[in-house]
Amino acid sequence: MPNTSEACGPAGSASWLIHSLRAQPLLIVLRPGEPLLALPTLERLQELGLIHVEIAWQPKPVWADQMRELIDLFPALELGAASVCQLQGVADAAAAGCRYAVSPLLDLELQRWATERELLLVPGVMSPSEVHQARRLGCGIVKLFPAVSVGIDHWRRLREPLGAPLPYCIAAGGLNPGDVLPWLEAGVDAVALGSGLTAALQAAAADAGLEALQDVLTQLGR
């Protein structure tokens, strides 16, 4: 088994993101096709006070340049890359200036590439074996994906058999604004909202989507 420095980076490399998520345990995942198409939605999210937003990586030559432009335009947001499953995605996220990227899977080669580029890569996990492997690799933060498939009690039920401490956990996949507080109360550390919410933000229901987000932020006390 590779040591921590070979896999998920030096101990504490995820601490800055964990600290930020403790202040606001919510992430929004956007899939605009090309990053600059997300600009109007990012403006709305920033007005609401959202901090953490992921833009889905696409294997397009313009992705890194457009992502870098968004990072420059929205310095108050923690913009990361979502859905990174290929080495090129890691390279593009690092080239764009992202401080973190998120993957739906746990892949040692992706983790090594990210570490070499000083990029925090949050791996996706589901099974006890994947959580255990991520922990052995030194990953301080993981994404439980798809969360809706395993249910709200899944993470809590892993604690006793796997032993403490478990990595910091972001629940993602199939969750809606109304799920945020129940999942946090059930034991995950943060929640990511994706396609169900962003479809509303980009359509005629944008006002309703924003209102739902505002309600979540109010309930979180942020």
Query: Domain extents for the chain?
Result: 4-216
Residues 6+ apart with CB under 8 A from 21: 27, 52, 168, 170, 189, 190
The answer to which of 3-12, 47-56, 127-136, 189-198 has the lowest mean pLDDT is 3-12
Mean pLDDT of the chain: 91
pLDDT digits (tens, 9 = 90+) for 57-73: 999 999 999 999 999 99
pLDDT value, residue 11 = 43
Query: Minimal CA–CA distance to 121: which of 159, 80, 170, 63?
Result: 80
CATH class of 4-216: alpha beta
Rounded average pLDDT over 24-53: 95
